[in-house]
């Protein structure tokens, strides 16, 4: 399955209709934040210590979620991040500075923009487009399928 990447400046809650529409089609959507200013909650000190001591990965599980800390050398390689963390996802929404088509809300629907080109979608059209291998390739003339 192709993993599509779209850049967002939205909050995850703004994308809830897309998450639900994709799930209704048995498709998974991931969320990736590049260079967040601060992590959403303090990391457990034991995870930081394990990462600094040389552990390949330090993971905490509980309260309905997991947190993983992996020491990195150099800039992240997106292809590696996708393979490690987003296996099985049809779409990964990326918040941060990266050259990708941008997903925006437009009324009850969505707009995908790349440079001067853009395409409008309903939520259902956007979710169904995730099944196509080149759903957001602006070099190929594509028209979203009608509902």
- The pLDDT score that the predictor gives to residue 147 is 45
Whether 86 and 20 map to the same domain: the answer is yes
Looking at 13, 48, 73, which one is the last position of a domain? Answer: 73
- The pLDDT score that the predictor gives to residue 121 is 97
Whether 110 and 52 map to the same domain: the answer is no
- The model's pTM is 0.83
Q: How many separate helices (H) and strands (E) can be counted in the chain?
A: 4, 8
- Gap between the Cα atoms of 69 and 60, Å rounded: 9
pLDDT grade, residue 48 (50/70/90)?
confident
Chain segment 26-39, per-residue pLDDT in tens: 999 999 988 765 55
Whether 123 and 84 map to the same domain: the answer is yes
Q: 47 lies in which domain range?
A: 37-73
- The pLDDT score that the predictor gives to residue 4 is 96
Looking at 73, 100, 123, which one is the last position of a domain? Answer: 73
First to last CA, the chain: 23
Res. 63: pLDDT tops 80: yes
Whether 103 and 68 map to the same domain: the answer is no
SS3 per residue for 70-100: CCCCCCCCHHHHHHHHCCCEEEEEEECCCCC
Whether 81 and 99 map to the same domain: the answer is yes
Whether 93 and 142 map to the same domain: the answer is yes
Chain segment 80-110, per-residue pLDDT in tens: 989 989 999 999 999 988 999 999 999 999 9
Per-residue tokens: 94: 């990326």
């Amino acid at each position: 399955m192709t993993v599509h990447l779209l850049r967002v400046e939205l909050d995850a809650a703004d994308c809830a209709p897309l998450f639900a529409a994709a799930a209704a089609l048995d498709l998974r959507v991931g969320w990736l934040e590049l260079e967040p200013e601060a992590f959403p909650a303090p990391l457990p000190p034991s995870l930081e210590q394990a990462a600094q001591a040389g552990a390949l990965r330090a993971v905490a599980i509980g309260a309905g979620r997991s947190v993983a800390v992996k020491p990195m050398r150099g800039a992240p390689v997106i292809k590696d991040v996708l393979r490690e963390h987003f296996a099985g996802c049809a779409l990964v929404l990326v918040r941060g500075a990266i050259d990708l088509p941008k997903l925006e809300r437009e009324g009850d629907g969505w707009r995908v923009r790349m440079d001067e080109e853009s395409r409008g979608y309903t939520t259902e059209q956007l979710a169904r487009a995730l099944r196509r291998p080149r759903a957001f390739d602006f070099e190929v003339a594509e028209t979203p399928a009608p509902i």
